[in-house]
Amino acid sequence: MPDMILAADGFKSGFVTLVGRPNAGKSTLLNALMGKKIAITSNTAQTTRHRFRAVLTREGFQMIIVDTPGLHKPHDALGEELNTSALKALEDVDVAAMLIDSSKPIGRGDEWVAAQLRGCRSRKICVLSKVDLATPDQIAAQREAAEGLAEWDAMVALSAETGYNVDAFAEEVVYLLPEGPAWFPPDMETDQPIEVVVAEFIREKILRTFHDEVPHAIGVALNEMEYDRKKDLYRIFAVIYVERDSQKGIIIGKRGAAIKRIGIEARADLEQLLGCRVFLDLSVKVKKNWRRDASQIRRFGYGEGA
């Protein structure tokens, strides 16, 4: 990275959080802002489990992005954990950006998220997401409806998928950030340990392969991850935890076909992430009710205090 002035008159820095109901497009926007894949995405709602920090440093600013899990009404212990961390993320951020899917009518979920936002002190940006899926009339109507939800400092209609207006969104965020120095080194892009990112990448492949068949019933733990310097190769041994024998069967598939495909896809992504060859060993274990036990959730590395 070239020399960069990281503390000077006019340098801006601060914390930004992306909120919105599950599937609104928060992780995709985070990846689009970063210009690379950092967060996992999928069609299954509530994909994001970690309070995740990404750091974007450019000439004149540093934004630290907290990608919150979708705010929603909890229905099990995992849900409660997610809600608590989402609400915590709203405190003490400089800018909160609420994503509203342009292609879907505003619903009670959006209203609920907006109500949480109204009470917080941060500056607020309304993001109308996924405009590539909506007609101009739909977007105009959404804009009008969204205006009544909170007192917005700015409103941006964008598509994280095509990249349309992602830069405009970044500019609005920077405009609203306070002046301050860079808090992190400019080449640092995430504060997650690499093991967590690796486990999340594997989980993403499973969610994408099975959609709603095994939605929240899986957790991924790494038993071992070691780098072989001589061979320039990572050896990764991961365990996929499920709640029931039937789920184990689904994940393994006929004669191991499903888990083999997951392994191949995850390995391709991991080789890109780690910049070297990867040997990936996946196994599946049944652990009943792990989702209902909050201490277990922490042990798996999800939620607060992980």
Ligand X SMILES: Nc1nc2c(ncn2[C@@H]2O[C@H](COP(=O)(O)OP(=O)(O)OP(=O)(O)O)[C@@H](O)[C@H]2O)c(=O)[nH]1
Q: Could you list the residues that contact ligand X (CB under 6 A)?
A: 20, 22-28, 41-43, 45-48, 69-70, 129-130, 132-133, 159-161
217 has binding-site annotation = no
Nearest CB to ligand X, comparing residues 168 and 276: 168
Which pairs with CB-CB distance under 8 Å and at least 24 residues apart come from 268-276?
Answer: 269/37, 269/201, 269/205, 270/198, 270/201, 270/202, 270/234, 270/236, 273/37, 273/197, 273/198, 273/201, 274/194, 274/198, 274/234, 276/227, 276/232, 276/233, 276/234
Closest contact distance (angstroms) between CB of 157 and ligand X is 10
Nearest CB to ligand X, comparing residues 131 and 278: 131
Nearest CB to ligand X, comparing residues 62 and 165: 165
> What's the rounded Cα separation, in Å, for the pair 43 and 48?
11
24 has binding-site annotation = yes
Nearest CB to ligand X, comparing residues 14 and 69: 69
Nearest CB to ligand X, comparing residues 133 and 217: 133
70 has binding-site annotation = yes
67 has binding-site annotation = yes
> What's the rounded Cα separation, in Å, for the pair 260 and 230?
27
Nearest CB to ligand X, comparing residues 207 and 278: 207
Whether the CB-CB separation of 248 and 239 falls below 8 Å is answered with no
Closest contact distance (angstroms) between CB of 127 and ligand X is 10
256 has binding-site annotation = no
Closest contact distance (angstroms) between CB of 153 and ligand X is 21
Closest contact distance (angstroms) between CB of 82 and ligand X is 9
26 has binding-site annotation = yes
Closest contact distance (angstroms) between CB of 201 and ligand X is 14
H runs (alpha helix) in the chain: 26-34, 77-90, 108-118, 136-147, 166-176, 194-210, 245-252, 257-274, 294-299
Whether the CB-CB separation of 51 and 68 falls below 8 Å is answered with yes
The sign one gets for the Cα dihedral 266, 272, 276, 277 is: positive
Position of tokens 């590539």? 132
129 has binding-site annotation = yes
Closest contact distance (angstroms) between CB of 40 and ligand X is 7
Binding residues for GTP: 20-27, 67-71, 129-132
Binding residues: 20-27, 67-71, 129-132
